[in-house]
Structure 1
């Protein structure tokens, strides 16, 4: 990894991240940057960086024409069994110190932070272990643009239910010789998208459970 790439990953912490497959990276919670892969040692990734976004976007825009109803609490996006697993495996829910972004993809960040109604949820404490998820309302035009943009950004996409799920993952070694894995999983469905970034914590079936709960 070059000096410039190492510098860029140095700012990333377990807060939100976009990834390029099997490259070395670190995660962070920052305003809206896109990430760049690297294959050399990087600073140890953590779950704290900048100021976290609000649980629900304070800017109300006209809602897209859809039957989708944005949940009002994070507990509502999971099945009872998944919620119990998360509470046991990596509490707490919504630690104020976790500012990790749910993605570092510029196209998705523009929508999330552009005033669309959004619910933010995170699991874990500021550390090298956790995840962050946003559920954001979108319209049909935005959905089509996202589905077209993610494969071009290196995501692998496939059908899930009536929508599309896209994933990307990276592995790396920090400057302290600690191995880490980070990634992003995004779902685009009718009326909303679910964006999730994680580091060293990717519960099996996580996004599938959210999709089944919200659209099932």
Structure 2
């Protein structure tokens, strides 16, 4: 597999590059159903939610959401509205944003957190967070993910990183997909629940074809 340099934006004349692997890995829905997404606690102040616990395989928490990021993209405020037709059908009977999984929906920092999961199920969970984030920290974070097996590439005017792995406790697959474009990071972690075309549907809802700036819900 070859590497590909991605240029980070930087002040003055300082231009730095980081290597991202070129290629493609399964996204939610493009491969077998996957299992519970877990995260390594990165920063000392970050507190993982019940579905975003610690895991070496999943990598750490992404850069914090920032309302000061310059972006022309409007973050949606409705979790049901970010799904494509196929994912909407697949998740029709899965509880959305059950209180057992913590704060969800449109959050005070301007981000959107969506949780499809049954509190009584051990697996079958998918969590997506859409938030504004600064480019350089995100690119640095994605570069770190390549070191633990994520495949990163540049489709649809953005940067995408993804990985799947076997769950350590159950005979299912876990996975995580991240997509960054125009100061917005879409971070999805999933466990044994991977509707076909899930991530592409979310991308299409945030950046509709032919529209530079999505209409706010």
- Residue aligning to 2:201: 209
* Bigger shift: residues 125-134 or 28-37: 28-37
Tell me whether 1:122 sits opposite 2:115 in the alignment. Answer: yes
Aligned counterpart in structure 1 of residue 128 of structure 2, from 129, 133, 151: 133
Summarize deviations over 1:162-192 as a string: whole Å, max 9, x none.
Answer: 1111111111463xxx412111111111121
- Judge conservation of contact 2:131–2:186 (CA < 8 Å) in 1: yes
* Matching residue within 174, 181, 186 for 2:178: 186
Structure possessing the higher relative contact order (Cα contacts under 8 Å, 6 or more residues apart): 2
Distance 1:150 1:212, change over 3 A: same
**Stretches of 4+ aligned residues off by more than 6 angstroms:** none
Shift of 1:132: 0.8
* Inter-CA distance 73–148: structure 2 relative to 1 (3 Å threshold): same
- 1:74-110 deviation line (CA, Å, top 9, x unaligned): 123223453233214xx11111223599xxxxxxxxx
In the TM superposition, residue 213 of structure 1 has moved relative to its aligned partner by 1.4
- Given that residues 97 and 125 in structure 1 are in contact (C-alpha distance below 8 angstroms), is that contact kept between their aligned partners in structure 2? no
Corresponding residue of 2:43: none
Q: Is the 8 A contact 2:66 2:134 kept in 1?
A: no
Q: Which residue of 1 aligns with 2:26?
A: none
Q: Is the 8 A contact 1:18 1:197 kept in 2?
A: no
Matches within 5 A, 1:158-169: 158-169=153-164
Report which stretch shifted further, 119-128 or 140-149.
140-149
Q: Which runs of 5+ in 2 are unaligned?
A: 1-34, 41-47, 58-63, 209-217
Counterpart in 1 of 2:92? 87
Residues of 2 paired with 1:60 and 1:154: CA distance? 24
Q: 1: distance between equivalents of 2:88 and 2:187?
A: 17
Q: Residues of 2 paired with 1:179 and 1:60: CA distance?
A: 34
Helix, strand or coil: the match of 2:154? strand
2:147 to 145, 152, 163: 152
* 3-state secondary structure, aligned to 1:179: coil
Give the corresponding residue for 1:55.
none
Given that 1:30 and 1:100 are in contact with CA atoms closer than 8 Å, whether structure 2 keeps it comes out as no
TM-score after normalising by structure 2: 0.61
Alpha-carbon contact 1:182-1:198 (below 8 Å) kept: yes
Query: The residue matched to 2:127 in structure 1 has which SS?
Result: strand
Whether the aligned pair in 2 keeps the contact of 1:147 and 1:188 (CA below 8 Å) is no
CA distance in 1, matches of 2:109, 2:103: 19
